[in-house]
Amino acid sequence: MACFLCGLESESTDHLFLNCCWSWKLWKRCMKWWEVSSCHNSKLPEWSKGWQGLCLSANSRRVWSSLFSALVWKIWETRNKFLFENKEIYLGLAEDTVKSRTAWWFKHLGKGSEIPVTSLMLNVNDLCVDPPNISKLTSKA
Ligand SMILES: [Zn+2]
């Protein structure tokens, strides 16, 4: 079965969540919040392990983990919108949803609980005080 997001390749877990051009654009847009750019590992389990294992403060790690979950959730949700409702989701809209969910989870985790979610969304780069060391995550140039 062809991927519902790009229509170019067969759908697989690795393709849908990581290697698909649409999905990867979303990852890149969200990593850019922290001025991070990277090539990715082609296997989702390895990418996930590397993502979680980056050297970060506990606070930043919570934000970074929330971002990972929000991204995977949004990609799955977008795929299902295409499949079951024939609805196209624009990257900017998907990014806003990821940002909103990341901000809500950050707030729920107890950090920044006095700050309104709208402010957290506008200043999402402030949530991660020490940017992830992305060089630990990449395996190919
Ligand atoms: Zn695809």
CA 105 to centroid of ligand 1, rounded, Å: 28
Residue 139 clears pLDDT 60, i.e. is over it: no
CA 4 to centroid of ligand 1, rounded, Å: 6
User: In which band, very low, low, confident or very high, does the pLDDT at 132 lie, cut at 50, 70 and 90?
Assistant: low
For residue 129, the Cα-to-chain-centroid distance in whole angstroms is 18
Report pLDDT for 55. 53
Per-residue pLDDT reduced to its tens digit, 77-97: 999 999 999 898 899 999 999
Distance CA 105, CA 83 (A): 27
Residue 140 clears pLDDT 50, i.e. is over it: no
CA 72 to centroid of ligand 1, rounded, Å: 14
- 118-127 long-range CB contacts below 8 Å, 24 or more apart? 121/96, 124/33, 124/99, 125/33, 125/34, 125/35, 127/60, 127/63, 127/102, 127/103
CA 10 to centroid of ligand 1, rounded, Å: 7
CA 14 to centroid of ligand 1, rounded, Å: 10
User: In which band, very low, low, confident or very high, does the pLDDT at 56 lie, cut at 50, 70 and 90?
Assistant: low
**If you average pLDDT over each of 41-45, 95-99, 104-108, which comes out highest?**
95-99
Look at 41 and 22; give whichever has higher pLDDT. Answer: 22
CA 90 to centroid of ligand 1, rounded, Å: 14
The percentage of residues in the chain with a pLDDT greater than 70, rounded to a whole number, is: 84
Residue 110 clears pLDDT 70, i.e. is over it: no
Mean pLDDT over each residue of the chain, to the nearest integer = 83
User: In which band, very low, low, confident or very high, does the pLDDT at 8 lie, cut at 50, 70 and 90?
Assistant: very high
CA 79 to centroid of ligand 1, rounded, Å: 9
Look at 50 and 25; give whichever has higher pLDDT. Answer: 25
Report pLDDT for 7. 92
